[in-house]
Amino acid sequence: MLAIVASATEKNSLAAAEAPERSKLQRMEALERANQIRSQRAKLKRDLRAGKATIDRLLESPPEYLETAKVFDLLLAVPKFGRVKANKILQQVRISPSKTVGGLSDRQRGELVQLLRSRTR
């Protein structure tokens, strides 16, 4: 009887792991949304490099398309911030390099914004 329970559990876990089939229209819409988000992020990174946007303001109230962007990638777009400096900043405020903007806690967001403001002034 135990073997039957195990096989039923395995079937349930396999069914839950599979993503539902999407129609061609749904896939095209998702692709269009993803491309739009990538374009918006690329423009934002260009603005950061050019000094038209500031990282602290973006992190304080991020636009929706930045919610899934990695904080580390945004820091790399800031002039004079390379991989080493970006990692040091994230370590100081105890943020993982893989953390997304939307995944920041209030404490993390506040400390990061405060640290970045102190470095840029």
> Domain locations in the chain?
24-120
∠ CA 26-31-36, rounded to 5°: 125
4 half-sphere exposure, CB direction, 13 A CA radius: 1
Mean pLDDT value across the chain: 87
The pLDDT score that the predictor gives to residue 60 is 93
The pLDDT score that the predictor gives to residue 17 is 67
Residues 55 and 78 sit within 8 Å (Cβ to Cβ): yes
CA distance from start to end of the chain: 69
How many angstroms separate the CA atoms of 97 and 23, rounded? 35
| pTM of this structure | 0.75
At 94-111, the pLDDT tens digits run: 999 999 999 999 999 999
CATH of domain 24-120: 1.10.8.50
Helix axes 106-120, 83-92, angle to 10 degrees: 130
> What percentage of residues in the chain have a pLDDT greater than 90?
77
